[in-house]
Structure 1
Amino acid sequence: MLKLGLLAECSIQLQNLESIVACAGHDVAFSGVSSAEGLLPLPEADVWVVRIDAGDSPLLMDYLDGIDQPVMYDDPEAYSSLDIEERAKHFSKKIKAITQIRVESPYNLPRATTVWILAASAGGPEAVIEFIQLLPKDLHGVALLYAQHIDSYMTESLTKSLARNTGWKVFYSIQAHRVCEQCLYLLPPSCQVDFDDMGFLEPLNEPWEPPFKPSINQVIAKVARKYGKDCGVIIFSGMGDDGSQTCKLIANIGGQVWVQSPETCAIDSMPQNALDTNCVSFSGSPEALARHFVVFQGQNQNEAQTLAAAPKC
């Protein structure tokens, strides 16, 4: 049995949450309206369950990002048609998932606000390793998803090689992980992944659409749908045209599409096919890509800090 902290925008939502928690067999350690004065600091709880609009409570959201306890952002619309018992079952599964994930992830890093895909095929690992070697450890706010066409038996050695060549945390995503800043997630060729409503990257029990594993087109579509303009893709060396069909999705919503310059690739088919879509905004060697990436992310971080510090009208 867990002790849950509950936060909601109104007392009616709190009462609804309390009923679900009771039916699910957990205790309520704290229950409060998000707009209440003197709410912070929050008391101790095993898990915090939150039903609030992030735009209406920026200080509270920043506080929740910095606490050690796991936070579950509950969306009542996701199961509004269910009765109380079915809601409790749905709720219990989410609580179980988030507490298990918490144990599996020993690094208390903030959630990433921006996600970039590193996409590659033949000749890609060498280029990607050269790229990540140049990334500083303190690049805040961003996570990397690495989609490499590869056979499953080679993923262990690739994961170890990545970890040896970067100061970032490296994970092989065959289990669910919270998407955190300064982390690199190698995507499995054996199954699809997707983002759940709590911001975790989790494996699915279904294969990638052929012919590629993982399918870069699918990865791009999933990331664009989840992160909108706060995402990007860098297409490195590779054979074929995987990624070129969906990189326009990222460009059209304001994200970034970059490629390794064809003359620096072992095989230039993937970058060249992306260039042919006319949605690429930067091209360069792995070293040039890394240096541009650091500058670009630094500028975005400064802009975000300026906006956060601006007086609210």
Structure 2
Amino acid sequence: MRIGVVSTNEVQKALFTELLAPLVGDLIMYDISHAKDGDLEISNAHILLIDMADSNVVECEEVMEALGREEPICLVHDKDLYAMAQRDRISWRNRTIEEIKKALPDLASELDEKKDEADNKNVPDLWIIGASSGGPQALRQFFGDLPRMPISIFVAQHMSEAGYGQMLARLKDVAPGWGVQSAESGMKIKPNSVYLVPRDNTIVINAGVIHLQPYSAQSVSFNPCIDAVIRSVFDCHPHLGVIILSGMGMDGSGGIRTIKGKAKMIMAQDHESSGAKSMPDTARNTGAVQYSANPEGLARKLAQIYGQKTF
């Protein structure tokens, strides 16, 4: 894929390269002298990205003439990337990639793969812990034996609206070696961190940044929906592991069935140690669970995966 950029702004060109080159390869850079010498007419680029935020480009007749030709395809850019926050630059990049995919549909799947790889390059492995009745006690036992590790954990604990603050405080108490926070849109994922998933929401990860998406569960006792969190996170970040702890019902089993054989690992609390047994038992009945133990044993297994020793 050959993408050309027409600009005289060196900062802008550097940001074009930073944002697009990991996905489309090296960019072909053109300035006004190239345009006046006729290089745009004979360019072998599939697409020309015209920097209309650059007044020199706008005032160049040869560049404006290129916009009227059928080849190469021209995309117009009119934003000052330097003035944008990083997440806004990522949003611009994603919109530009969508335009390139429309123009070059045969390369759409390749672009999607490279985008996923680039977005997840510096994001730690993610783990989802799903819990319901008996979950708070299981979480206390689990984190009591869990060392600091370069991963991020999302806790989807069924709770009432009034109990969210109490649950967040409890997590901070039982996981003192971890950065415990309420998951919020715009938050950058950090290693050795625990994020509590709010009610009526699921999680989407975009370039290492959390985005909450509304998702109203059907029952107060199944909120937040563990199945929805598993599916939505896995769709955007395949380096995912899941742990199903004590709980009533079957929430979580649908999510792990969807990612069976694709997740980093799927574990569940064993029958004997679960205060409420149906949720981890139903998870095991899917055939997706690869390891079962009490909460302390699950913590030791997770630490072993990352070469760590438990307390």
Letter in 2 for 1:123: G
In the TM superposition, residue 209 of structure 1 has moved relative to its aligned partner by: 4.0
Structure 1 position 208 matched with structure 2 position 216: yes
Find the partner of 2:133 among 101, 112, 122: 122
Structure 1 residues 17 and 268, CA gap change in structure 2 (3 angstroms): farther
Indicate how the Cα distance of structure 1 residues 25 and 272 shifts in structure 2: closer, same or farther if over 3 A, else same. Answer: same
- Residue among 3, 11, 23 paired with 2:78: 23
Alignment match, 1:133? 144
Aligned mates of 1:146, 1:203 — CA distance in 2: 14
Decide whether aligned partners of structure 1 residues 27 and 258 sit closer, same or farther in structure 2, where only a CA change above 3 A counts.
closer
For 1:282 and 1:143, locate their aligned partners in 2 and report how far apart those are by CA, in whole Å.
20
Structure 1: segments with no counterpart, 5+ residues:
29-44, 51-70, 83-109, 300-313
> CA 1:158/1:16 → structure 2, altered by over 3 Å: closer, same or farther?
same
Which position in structure 2 is the counterpart of 1:251? 260
Q: Is the 8 A contact 2:200 2:217 kept in 1?
A: no
Q: How does 1:136-215 map to 2 (within 5 A)?
A: 136-137=147-148, 139-140=149-150, 142-166=151-175, 167-196=177-206, 198-204=207-213, 206-211=214-219, 212-215=222-225
- Structure label with greater radius of gyration: 2
Matched, 1:224 2:234: yes
Q: Residues of 1 paired with 2:189 and 2:181: CA distance?
A: 10
Compute the displacement of 1:278 (Å): 1.6
Paired position in structure 1 for 2:274: 265
Distance verdict in 2 for CA 1:263–1:287, change over 3 Å: same
Q: What number of residue pairs does the alignment pair up?
A: 230
**Within 2, Cα distance between the matches of 1:174 and 1:46?**
18
The aligned counterpart of 1:11 is 27
- Cα distance, 1:121–1:48 mapped onto 2, change above 3 Å: closer
Amino acid at match of 1:10: D
Alpha-carbon deviation of 1:155? 1.1
Q: 1:28-39 to 2 correspondence within 5 Å?
A: none
Scaled by the length of structure 2, the TM-score of the pair is 0.65
Paired residue for 2:297? 288
Gaps of 5+ in 2: 1-10, 31-47, 55-76, 103-120
Residue 27 and residue 225 in structure 1: after superposition, are their counterparts in 2 closer, same or farther (change >3 A)?
closer
* Superposed displacement of residue 241, structure 1: 0.4
* 1:285/1:199 CA distance change after superposition, 3 Å: same
Partners of 1:191 and 1:46 in 2: CA distance: 25
Output the amino acid matched with 1:208.
S
Matched, 1:240 2:259: no
Provide the secondary structure at the position in 2 that maps to 1:163.
helix
Task: Report the RMSD for the aligned CA atoms in angstroms.
Answer: 3.2
CA contact (8 A) 2:189 2:209 kept: yes
Q: Could you tell me how far 1:297 is from its partner in structure 2?
A: 2.1
Partner of 2:97: 77
Give 3-state SS (helix, strand or coil) of 1:151's partner: coil
Percent of aligned positions that are identical: 26
**Would the alpha carbon gap of residues 17 and 274 (structure 1) be closer, same or farther in structure 2, given more than 3 Å must change?**
farther
TM superposition score normalised by structure 1: 0.64
